């Protein structure tokens, strides 16, 4: 499975944290630290499993717990039409 931002979506850093901005629809989504690291990882071309493992290690969290959190984030971002999931 490959996860990518939609073409019109950009990751923006602000004083309040990271934001996904859909320039075509004028929609934005505030990301917490985990969400921002996730988006940066997929932008760097890392696999979903690689990104999940790196974040779990960074926050010293059980990998299965992090996988559930990342799965929830994926569902939310997909529902908001900010990402595309290919090869499901």
Confidence (pLDDT) at 53:
97
- On whether the pTM is more than 0.85, the answer is yes
Mean pLDDT of all residues in 2-30? 92
What is the tens place of the pLDDT at every residue in 66-85?
Answer: 999 999 999 999 999 999 99
Q: Domain count of the chain? A: 1
CATH number of the CATH domain containing 34? 1.10.10
Confidence (pLDDT) at 21:
96
Q: Is 88 within a domain?
A: no
| Tokens, residue 65 | 């717990």
Q: Is 87 within a domain?
A: no
What is the tens place of the pLDDT at every residue in 17-59?
Answer: 799 999 999 999 999 999 999 999 999 999 999 999 999 999 9
Q: Is 39 within a domain?
A: yes
| Domain of 68, in residue numbers | 2-82
Q: Is 68 within a domain?
A: yes
- Nearest-angstrom CA–CA distance, 18 and 15: 8
| Tokens, residue 83 | 């990402």
């Amino acid at each position: 499975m490959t996860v990518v931002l939609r073409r019109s979506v950009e990751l923006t850093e602000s004083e309040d944290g990271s934001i996904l901005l859909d320039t075509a629809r004028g929609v934005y989504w505030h990301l917490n630290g985990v969400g921002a690291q996730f988006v940066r990882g997929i932008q760097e071309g890392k696999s979903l499993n690689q990104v999940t493992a790196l974040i779990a290690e960074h926050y010293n969290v059980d990998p299965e717990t992090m996988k559930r959190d990342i799965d929830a984030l994926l569902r939310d971002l997909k529902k908001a039409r900010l990402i595309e999931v290919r090869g499901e």
